[in-house]
Amino acid sequence: MNFQVRRSSETIEVLLSGRLEFTDHDSLPDIVELLNGERTRRFVLDMDGLTFIDSAGIGMLLILQDEAEQRNIKLVLRKLQGDVLRSIDLARIGEVVTIER
Amino acid sequence: MDGSPASSASPSPGPAGAVRPFSVVRDRVPADIAARVAARFGPSGGVGDAVDGRAAAAVLLAQADRDILRGAFGLNRFLTVELTEREEGTGTIEADWLGAPPVERGFYLSLTTGTAYGLQCAVLVCDELTRRGVLTPERRGNIELCLHEAIANAIVHGNLGIPSATKEQPEGYRLFSRLLRERLGDGAVRQRRIDIFARWTADSLSIAVVDQGNGFDAAALPQDTDSGAHSGRGFVFMRALARRIHVTDGGRCTLLQFDL
């Protein structure tokens, strides 16, 4: 998995690409660190470029949700499609994470 | 029993750990290995299908990469086995890898954990199943996800011995990453095997994923997972998408069955 970051006044947008899976845990602290911006109120994970996510990747999204919540930041998943949407739906994480359809 | 290479012209092994093309073709599977596989997968798992008890093996050498693996698959052998760094490329077949007699439609892949990690094995196996005309694009996505989850479990929780609950504690993801690095840096752990055995008929596909870890109590697996939990969804995915999932060998073998 690779990611790029866009920043605006109160929003950080992270554009994920490739496959998000169990071998990507080393990238997670770098993404968590992005939550530490003082003015950040909204954290968007753009998944348009993501082709696959496994159960470990789902777990990473939920870790990010917990970390965002602790900082009073709203986490949003955006542009889910194909196999990624299937995994997200199967995991039913829409009950705890905001998903923009 | 004959574990000698088929050709005396096979190149001698290079330095331990070097990436080399598969170079040894063996023409016979030892009876004890065939018996172990038959015991694991049942009599229909192969012995009765064997042709004179012989099976050609495409043998990879240590640290195979994706291109080498694809090339080995291209030989259309039943067995594709990665030798460990400690094995001689032209010596007798060691007992630490599983072989299997040929079945009419199937293949058996055995890789070390160090190689399997990061190789996207499920993609490679599904590519091969597609090449052999088993998978259609419509079927592939769900089967690949299930296989990926079984392989990830076998690597992380099986051979690397990292408990799923690690990620549930505060900052558990940092501990999880550290444990991954430590275990993958342990030579003995990296040599543990991941075996993938695929067999199919006209209307069904079975894939077994076998590890050499400590196993687990499959009966203790929850049927569902809390929607906010950081782990535990692999089996939820497999149960939802496979026709049947069966865990044997004390948690070391996950057998997935699909309709085609």
Predicted local confidence at residue B197, as pLDDT: 86
Q: Are B252 and B210 in contact (CB under 8 A)?
A: yes
Q: B238 or B31, which is more confident?
A: B238
Asked whether residue B8 falls in the same domain as residue B82, the answer is yes
**In which band, very low, low, confident or very high, does the pLDDT at B15 lie, cut at 50, 70 and 90?**
very low
Our measurement of the distance from residue A43's CA atom to the centroid of its chain's CA atoms, rounded to an integer in Å, reads 8
When mean pLDDT is compared across A28-32, A34-38, B24-28, B188-192, the lowest value belongs to: B24-28
| B166 shares a domain with B260 | yes
Where in the sequence is the domain holding B8, given as residue range(s)?
1-104
Helices of type H across chain B: 31-41, 66-73, 113-116, 121-131, 137-153, 172-184, 187-190, 234-241
Q: With bands split at pLDDT 50, 70 and 90, how would you rate the model's confidence at B37?
A: low
- Which tens digits make up the pLDDT trace of B217-246? 877 776 666 666 777 789 999 999 999 998
Q: Which of B1-5, B52-56, B212-216 has the highest mean pLDDT?
A: B212-216
Chain A residues with CB under 8 Å of B120 CB are 19
Report the residue of A31, A54, A95 to disrupt the B interface, i.e. the one with the largest count of B CBs within 10 Å: A54
Which among B121, B184, B226, B233 is the top mutation candidate for probing chain A, defined by the most A β-carbons within 10 Å of its own β-carbon?
B233
The beta-strand segments (E) located in B55-127 are 57-60, 79-82, 106-112
Give yes or no: residues B75 and B147 share one domain.
no
At B67-109, the pLDDT tens digits run 888 888 887 777 777 766 554 444 443 333 344 444 557 888 8
Q: Is residue B126 part of a domain?
A: no
Total structural domains within chain B: 2
Superfamily of domain A2-100: STAS domain (3.30.750.24)
Overall residue count recorded for chain A in this entry: 101
Look at residue B3 and tell me if it is in a domain.
Answer: yes
CATH number, position B174: 3.30.565
Write down the ipTM of this complex: 0.94
Helix axes A82-91, B137-153, angle to 10 degrees: 50
The pLDDT of residue A9: 86
Closest chain A C-alpha to B118 CA, distance in angstroms: 6
Does residue B90 share a domain with residue B183?
A: no
| Residue for token pair 């030798």 | B83
Separation between Cα atoms, residue B66 and residue B70, nearest integer Å: 6
Q: Where do the domains of chain A lie?
A: 2-100
Name the region of B102 (left: φ>0; alpha: ψ -120 to 50; beta: rest): beta
Q: Which of A56, A10, A2, A4 is nearest to A35 (CA)?
A: A10
